[in-house]
Amino acid sequence: MANGYVHSTESFGAVDGPGIRFVFFLSGCKFRCKYCHNPDTWFFNRGEVLSPEAACQLALKYKNYIKNGGVTFSGGEPLEQIDFVTETAKLLKENGLHVAVDTTGFTFNVGDETSVEKHLNLIKYVDLFLLDIKHIDDDKHRIITGQSNKHTLDFLAFLDAKGKKTWIRYVVCPTLSDDILDAKALKNYANNFKCIDKFEVLPYHTMGKHKYTELNIPYSLEDVLPPSEETVLAIKDILL
């Protein structure tokens, strides 16, 4: 049994998948997105330790409220604790709940048999993936996150091959990911994948800024304002 480090939970989440959802925010992420509003979830092995059984029981307390929604694993990068997510998702499915995972796909390594096997096992118990594509251009992706987008795009191809329903999430952030041509390139790329059911366009906001001060981490977007409504609409026009 794989226990999980849970940073926090939300009982009535409305933005991480369909319907009202119980959300687990798991600790640990190897990305360092410049616009991340949850830098407090970056650190591994922090938070409350829960067994899959205890996590499932916790979500089940809200079954009446989430029966038309479900449970979402978010973070941090939830699949950094893939064994815990898989075991908990299996229990949630046995209890009739819809399961979603909000991920960058960074843990998927197509050249590593163990990694592929673990993700194959996971997808048996997940109804929907919310796949965060931070940028379609690898160089720009590295500027935003500090990592390549290769694993994310390989994971998208994997989900497509397995016919797993996927929503793509894209954050629009001035100076980093608000270029219309980049949005068009992302859309063209995405057109190759039938598993994509929907796009979600998320405007950058500054609500997590104070956490950087509290954690004593420099905030590199100090002078960057949220995108204008026009920019968000123009990108929505392309992607949605």
Residues that bind ligand SF4 (CB under 6 A): 29, 31-33, 36, 38, 41, 75-77, 104
Element (H, E) at 129: strand 128-132
Nearer to ligand SF4, 158 or 170 (CB): 170
In this complex, which beta carbon is closest to ligand SF4, that of residue 48 or of residue 54? 48
Q: Which of 112, 108, 154, 105 is nearest to 131 (CA)?
A: 105
Smallest distance from ligand SF4 to CB 104, Å? 5
- Secondary structure of 10-68 in HEC code, one letter for each residue: EEEECCCCCCCEEEEEECCCCCCCCCCCCHHHCCCCCCEEECHHHHHHHHHCCHHHHCC
Q: How far is the CB of 42 from ligand SF4 (least distance, A)?
A: 6
> Are 200 and 176 spatial neighbours (Cβ–Cβ below 8 Å)?
no
- Our CA angle for 34, 225, 171, nearest 5°, is 50
Bridge partners of residue 22, in order along the sequence: 71
Helices (H), 162-208: 180-190
Question: Closest CB to ligand SF4 among 52 and 76?
Answer: 76
Closest CB 46 distance from ligand SF4, rounded Å = 13
By beta-carbon proximity to ligand SF4, the closer residue of 96 and 146 is 146
Residue 151 CB, nearest approach to ligand SF4 (Å): 12
Task: Say which DSSP state 96 is in.
Answer: T
Q: 175: helix, coil or strand?
A: coil
Instruction: Please identify, using beta-carbon distances, which residue of 52 and 105 lies nearer to ligand SF4.
Output: 105
In the complex, minimum distance from the CB of residue 85 to ligand SF4, in angstroms, rounded to a whole number: 15
